[in-house]
Amino acid sequence: MSDNVSFEKPLRSVEPALYGWLQSEMSRLHIHPYDVHAGAEVQSDGVLVRLRFGERLSYVQEQHFSRDAIESQSLEINRFFAKVGEDIQKALVSDYFKMMKP
């Protein structure tokens, strides 16, 4: 995973439809929108979606989606958002217990 975010823009402005799907999945999992930072890089053959979460946004997951996958509302997108949602839940619980340790 790359730390180069020089071309990253908010997913909401790059691909509003993808952002809407992400928010739907996060809502289903009871994850607040502020718990995940969604960025995207437009590439010649699609969009690279980069999701940051956890304490100080230290966790990063990214996935490239082709234009065809986005236009056809591919299940690949839903699976990625669902997996990231589960990982966010785990990170939130882990961060909470780290914070509560004496």
Provide the greatest CA pair distance for the chain: 50
Pairing of strands 36-43, 9-10: antiparallel
For the segment 45-72, the average pLDDT, to the nearest whole number, is 94
Span 64-77, average pLDDT: 94
Q: pLDDT digits over 10-29, tens only?
A: 999 999 999 999 999 999 99
Q: What residues are paired with 48 via a beta bridge?
A: 41, 64
The reported pLDDT for the residue numbered 5 is 46
- Dihedral sign from CA coordinates of 60, 65, 67, 73: negative
pLDDT at site 3: 52
* Angstrom distance (rounded) from CA 26 to CA 36: 9
Q: Are 74 and 65 in contact (CB under 8 A)?
A: yes
Q: What is the pLDDT of residue 82?
A: 96
Side chain identity at residue 18, one-letter code: L
Q: Poorest-confidence range of 2-6, 37-41, 42-46?
A: 2-6
Structure tokens at 49: 């979606």
* Ordered domains of the chain (ranges, CATH): 9-100 (3.30.160)
Q: What is the pLDDT of residue 6?
A: 52
Q: CA–CA separation, 14 vs 16, rounded Å?
A: 6
Query: How high is the mean pLDDT of the chain?
Result: 90
